[in-house]
Structure 1
Amino acid sequence: MTPLALPGVYAPQHDTDLLVQSLRQEPLPPHAHVLDIGTGTGAVALAAARLGAKVTAVDISWRAVLNAKVNAALARLPLRVMRGNLLAPVSGRSFDLVLSNPPYVPSPDADCPRRGAARSWDAGYDGRLLLDRICRDAPAFLRPGGVLLLVQSALSGAEETLRLLRAAGLNADVVEHRSIAVGPVLRSRSSWLRSRGLLEDNDGKEELVIIRAERLL
């Protein structure tokens, strides 16, 4: 069942599909507690709920929160949806699995948008405004043996994500790749991306990666 995407909410795309694919390959304990950061339509959270997990989904957008709740009701799946900034709504809790498809697209604007559709993908000059926060804060929310699965573009520095997660004591590696055609957002700023050496001339491709980071026992 394809999730309903309300206007202004990020519709599931290649990165969503890649994250769900990796989620399905992840062994979960019975009744695992799962957190989805930046849930959007709830597509990834609902995929976890279908595996029998107890899922909490968080998004800063009221519209996304409503969208995820509607999709959970349509799918008849239990899903706790909370509004808030990244991990703030679940302070003090811990999870077996943390999932995230955060905004990660490099933007000429230094700050994340406060409203509008671009809020779902733009993440500052290097695309790392939210990635860095997740790398810094998420390890403390993992139970022993817990796993973080994160999808991002190679344009926003997968090696830096690995470095930060390893520095936090996690065992982190890139476990999946997918090359996709450059979409309309990147095409619209291709000259700027090329000037920064992030996009090769006539490349026309973007690489998505899944980073898996495990908290050791």
Structure 2
Amino acid sequence: MSPVLVRGPGVYRPQSDTRLLARAMTQAALPSGAQVLDACTGTGALAIHAARSGAAAVTAVDMSRAALASAWFNSMLAGVRLELVCGDVTRVVQGRTFDVVVANPPYVPSEGVLPGGGAARAWDAGWHGRLLLDPLCTMMPGLLGIGGTALIVHSAVSGIASSLVRLRAGGLKASVVARTVIPFGPVMRGRSDWLRARGLIRPGQQHEELVVIRADRTC
């Protein structure tokens, strides 16, 4: 993953979850010449990583035009070509299939989601943190071609079991393939009392576990 990335105002900064997913992509030894979808691309860090890892074509999707502008600029700096698509990933790629799907969607539980914009849109994901995770997991079997692989990163606070159940319900083979524990960042620290009151974190908890879930379509 490139150490230098341009990031426009309000665009999600690559951090621990991005790096964990990039390592999982490398360890998965994804096929050379793959058609790849990067859902919620942000700066394009994972899309660029996929292109540099041998993907034949990479489609990067984000609702934020500032994110897509950042991804375009970073792809030019990296010397790779991306197909950039603006919109809701659950709608704009319907009817298409990919060999590989990678996703770092918003997953932080929140009392609401900003209507239309703002930096918090990159992480706020509704009451259970699954506003995008649920539809993404549900549609994943239709996004993957036969033999295709999805890699999704999110916090354990958002419910690992919920992701596994939805993916498996669609006929995919799904399991956790990478984990790491990190200290709460500013967002989680700022709402820790609310998360604790809802029973999503333990009293005194100041760390969260991040996981990468791999889902394979075998038939």
TM-score by length of 2: 0.95
Query: 1:139 matched to which residue of 2?
Result: 141
Whether contact under 8 Å (1:100, 1:151) holds in the other structure is: yes
Q: How many residue pairs get matched?
A: 216
Amino-acid identity (%):
51
Query: 2:111 matched to which residue of 1?
Result: 108
The amino acid that maps onto 1:172 is: A
Secondary structure in structure 2 of the residue aligned to 1:129:
coil
Match of 2:65 among 51, 62, 73: 62
Query: 1:161 matched to which residue of 2?
Result: 163
Query: 1:76 matched to which residue of 2?
Result: 79
RMSD between superposed Cα atoms in Å: 1.1
The amino acid that maps onto 1:81 is: L
Match of 1:40 among 32, 39, 42: 42
1:138 CA displacement: 1.9
1:198 aligns with 2:200: yes
Secondary structure in structure 1 of the residue aligned to 2:161:
helix
Query: 2:175 matched to which residue of 1?
Result: 173
Q: Return 91-100 or 165-174, whichever deviates more.
A: 91-100
Q: Distance in 2 between matches of 1:35 and 1:190?
A: 33
Whether contact under 8 Å (2:100, 2:144) holds in the other structure is: yes
The amino acid that maps onto 1:117 is: A
1:86 aligns with 2:92: no
Query: 1:26 matched to which residue of 2?
Result: 28
Whether contact under 8 Å (1:40, 1:59) holds in the other structure is: yes
With over 3 angstroms needed to count, the CA separation of the structure-2 counterparts of 1:113 and 1:13, relative to structure 1, is: farther
TM-score by length of 1: 0.96
Q: Distance in 1 between matches of 2:102 and 2:96?
A: 15
Q: Distance in 1 between matches of 2:10 and 2:131?
A: 21
Render the CA deviation track for 1:29-49: whole Å, top value 9, x for unaligned.
Answer: 331100000000000000000
1:121 aligns with 2:123: yes
Runs of 4+ in 1 over 6 A off after TM superposition: none
Whether contact under 8 Å (1:113, 1:122) holds in the other structure is: no
Q: Distance in 1 between matches of 2:115 and 2:152?
A: 21
Q: Distance in 2 between matches of 1:160 and 1:76?
A: 38
Secondary structure in structure 2 of the residue aligned to 1:6:
coil
Render the CA deviation track for 1:48-89: whole Å, top value 9, x for unaligned.
Answer: 000120111000111111110000001111111111101422
Q: Distance in 1 between matches of 2:210 and 2:44?
A: 20
Q: Distance in 1 between matches of 2:147 and 2:20?
A: 22
Structure 2 unaligned runs (5+)? Answer: none
Query: 1:50 matched to which residue of 2?
Result: 52
